[in-house]
Structures are given as C-alpha cells and as structure tokens.
Amino acid sequence: MTNTWLDDFPARLKKLDHTHLRRRRAVVTPDGGARLKVDGRSMLAFCNNDYLGLSTHPDLVQAACQGAKAFGVGSGGSPLVSGHSPANAALELALAEFVGLPRALYFYAGFSTNTGIIPALAGAGDAIFSDTLNHACLIDGARLSRAQIHRYAHADLAALERALTQSSARCKLVISDAVFSMDGDSANIPALLALCEHHDALLLLDDAHGFGVLGPQGRGSLAQAGQYGPNTSRRVLYMATLGKAAGVAGAFVAGDDALVEWLLQKTRSYIYATAAPALLASALRASLQLIEHDEWRRTHLHNLIARLRTGLTDRLKNSSWQLSESQTAIQPLLIGRNDEAMTVMAGLRERGLWVPAIRPPTVPEGTSRLRIALSAAHSEADIDQLIEALATLARASR
C-alpha cells in the first residue's frame, strides 16, 4: 500500500514542533529536599504535586516495605475477586474517618476514579453540569456517561443555576474541581452545595489539590467548608487523589453509605481493574498519620506561598506577567504566548530551576503559563532564588 494514513503521524508530530506543543519526558530521581535529579542534573524543582514533601519520607518507605513483606508486591486481582487486602480495607476505614464521611472506596488511580464513577452515577436521560476548567478526567467521565452535559463558565454560579433550573432531568450531577489544577483557585463549595440542595442535584468534588493541604489537619476542601462529620450534606460525593500531598498513589471517593456501595457495584474502572497493591495502602496509612499530625508542614507551606506572592508582586510590577489569584500551593504565572512561556522555562532551567510551562490544550489559547508548585520540602531560600531568577528574566524580556 503506497498511501496510508499511518504515514501522517510524522507530519502530525512536526506540526506539534512548529507550534511549540511537543512534550518531552525527563528521567527524574529525588535528590533531597525539593531537588530532583533531571536527566542526571540536580535541579531545584517547582513542578511536582508532592505538596507536603511526603513522597520520600522514611515512615512511608518503611510502611511500603512492611506491606510488601506481608502481602507481596502485586494484589493479583480486582478488589471484587481476590485483590482486597486487609491493608486496603483498613485504609478505606482510615480515609472515611479522616475526611469525616460515612464510607470511602480506595482506587488505584485518580483519573480512572472519575472516568468510572461518573458513568456509574449518571447515564442517558440524566444531566451533568461541569465547570469549564474541570480536570480532563472529569470531562472524560462525563462524556463516557452518555448523560447530557451542560458546561458552565468557570465559577459562574449564576450560569450553573440557570442550567439547573432549565433542566428537566431527574438525576442531576454537578461536577467540579475543588481546587482548579491549572489556576490554583478554589470552588465556592457552600454555594455549590446550596444550589444542589435547591435543585435536587448531587455534587461531585475532586479535591486532588486540597486533600492534605487545606482544612483542619489537612482534611481537605470539604472539611474546610465546614462539611465534616455527622452534619455533612448527603448531596456531596468527595473524591481526592493520593499521589499528590499524600505522597503515594491512588485515589478515593467518600460519601453516603448507599451511594458508595452503589459505586462499588457499578464502577467499571473499579470492577474490571486490578486492585492497588497492599504496599501502597500500607504507605498511605503512614502518610495519613503525618498529614494529620505534622501541622508544621502546612504552616511552612502557607508561609512559602505568602513569601512567593509578596516577592513576585513586588519584583514583577513592571512586567506583563500576571500572578493568578491563588491562595493554594499552585501559583500560576500567566505569560501569554507559548514561545515566550517556553523561553522563560528555558531561562529558569539554565539557572537550575525547574518550573513547567503549561500550554494549550491543557490551558486556553493565549494563557500559556508557568505553573509554580510549592511544597513543604522547599526552604525560604529556594523561594527567594526563584523570585530573583524570574525578576531577571522579566527584565530581559522587556
């Protein structure tokens, strides 16, 4: 065959190169504190979601080793057949207690949690209401469900209310990031819940970036909004991932007992996937202890956030680069053009600083940015070094 579509791929890749959209992976090893060895070179990293600096903590490593000794390294099956270990069962109880909700279900990954639970909750004839800045896995889960999807402009509660009012679907599901992953801003949870209450809807909150960081003892965005314990609304289904602040891998969903039992029965990505290995559940129980008791990690992180914001606001005041209105560990610096964002990223890299540039389609056209992620593993001197480097690059770009 001379003319086949399989020959299109090299040209498609070239097009990615021309538009500065080709992504490349680095080979990365932890290198102490917030440093990473990147393709062999030690870099100060502002690019990972290990917000509390727990991913290399000796307690977690030891717990993982103990889990491996007790249960081996693989679970061997779906949780519904033979993959549900005592470590996984204990973790689910600990997670439910920690977030103050009746029951939790532990998944091997966050992405497949959302792509699985949304179709288990809503189907043809139902309606899903989705913030336009939601994470890709919420968007894909909604598409898989075959429900009608109403996208509302980011954080536009009036638009959401109109859409809810106009819908005649019996099952209405509102889906939202609790902390938006590329902007760092938080959803207005009390207002979302009030709308769900009024319109007989269920709220699915994805707290990938709030769990461990926000709320009392790091219990997350829902607890921060006062939804914790016996008074929690049954209209909320709380989802959080465990590969970010918790420092390990996986995710969980928590809420009303019958609702969680339904998800256990009907979520295809739960039923037809091999359970997370017990060693991860063991590490996660150790992580929950540190999240709850190491208050200093959150205090330190919040001091670093304030230091970065004050420093950049001051040093970039004559620049067109814009710091977003975020109070979380995600601090995006809006640059605008793809190539300029790439140039700044390269300039930082030359100085030994690793800050990822985020480009379309991950963010809207014209809003390419540096996504600065802070961690309790950073020191004040690390933050100052980043501020100085950005101030120098901003002067050079004018």
Ligand X SMILES: *Cc1c(COP(=O)(O)O)cnc(C)c1O
Count of residues near ligand X by CB under 6 A: 13
Q: Which is nearer to ligand X, 53 or 116 (CB)?
A: 116
Q: Is 328 exposed, middle or buried (0-12, 13-18, 19+ CB in 10 A)?
A: buried
**Which range in 80-88, 107-115, 184-192, 292-300 contacts ligand X by CB under 6 A?**
107-115
**Which range in 103-111, 150-158, 185-193, 285-293 contacts ligand X by CB under 6 A?**
103-111
Q: Which is nearer to ligand X, 67 or 110 (CB)?
A: 110
Q: Quick one: which of 208, 288, 291, 390 contacts ligand X (CB under 6 A)? A: 208
Residue 111 lies near ligand X (rule: CB under 6 A): yes
35-38/41-45 β-pairing: antiparallel
Q: Quick one: which of 50, 92, 185, 206 contacts ligand X (CB under 6 A)? A: 206
41-45/236-241 β-pairing: unpaired
Q: Restricting to residues 16-35, which ones interact with ligand X according to CB under 6 A?
A: none
322-323/35-38 β-pairing: unpaired
Q: Which is nearer to ligand X, 85 or 114 (CB)?
A: 114
Q: Which tokens sit at 379?
A: 């020191």
**Which range in 22-30, 52-60, 203-211, 225-233 contacts ligand X by CB under 6 A?**
203-211
Q: Quick one: which of 63, 246, 251, 390 contacts ligand X (CB under 6 A)? A: 251
Residue with the closest Cβ to ligand X? 110
Nearest distance, CB of residue 243 and ligand X, angstroms: 5
Q: Quick one: which of 35, 135, 150, 369 contacts ligand X (CB under 6 A)? A: 135
The pattern of x and - marking residues 297 through 316 that bind ligand X according to CB under 6 A reads --------------------
Q: Which is nearer to ligand X, 36 or 178 (CB)?
A: 178
Q: Determine the Cα–Cα distance for residues 116 and 293; give it in Å rounded to an integer.
A: 32
Instruction: Check: CB of residue 236 under 8 Å from CB of residue 272.
Output: no
Residue type, 355: V
Q: Is the peptide bond before 361 cis (omega within 30 degrees of 0)?
A: yes
Q: Which is nearer to ligand X, 182 or 341 (CB)?
A: 182
Q: Quick one: which of 145, 232, 241, 287 contacts ligand X (CB under 6 A)? A: 241
The pattern of x and - marking residues 254 through 283 that bind ligand X according to CB under 6 A reads ------------------------------
Q: Which is nearer to ligand X, 167 or 375 (CB)?
A: 375
In 3-state terms, what secondary structure has residue 129? strand
Residue 105 lies near ligand X (rule: CB under 6 A): no
**Which range in 30-38, 85-93, 106-114, 284-292 contacts ligand X by CB under 6 A?**
106-114
Q: List Cα–Cα distances, 244 to 209, 240, 322, in angstroms.
A: 7, 9, 26
Please name the residues in contact with 310: beta carbons below 8 A apart, sequence gap of 6 or more: none
Please name the residues in contact with 346: beta carbons below 8 A apart, sequence gap of 6 or more: none
Nearest distance, CB of residue 247 and ligand X, angstroms: 12
Dihedrals phi, psi of 60, to nearest 5 degrees = -70, -40
Q: Determine the Cα–Cα distance for residues 296 and 245; give it in Å rounded to an integer.
A: 14
| Burial call 214-224: b when 16+ CB within 10 Å, e when fewer | bbeebbbbbbb
**Which range in 90-98, 105-113, 224-232, 318-326 contacts ligand X by CB under 6 A?**
105-113
What would the DSSP string read from start to end of 269-333? HHHTSPPPPHHHHHHHHHHHHHHHH-HHHHHHHHHHHHHHHHHHHHHTTTSS-EE-S--SSEEEE
Q: What is the dihedral of CA 354, 360, 363, 367, to 10 degrees?
A: 80
The pattern of x and - marking residues 162 through 191 that bind ligand X according to CB under 6 A reads ---------------x---x----------
Site residues, ligand X (CB under 6 A): 109-111, 135, 137, 177, 181, 206, 208-209, 241, 243, 251
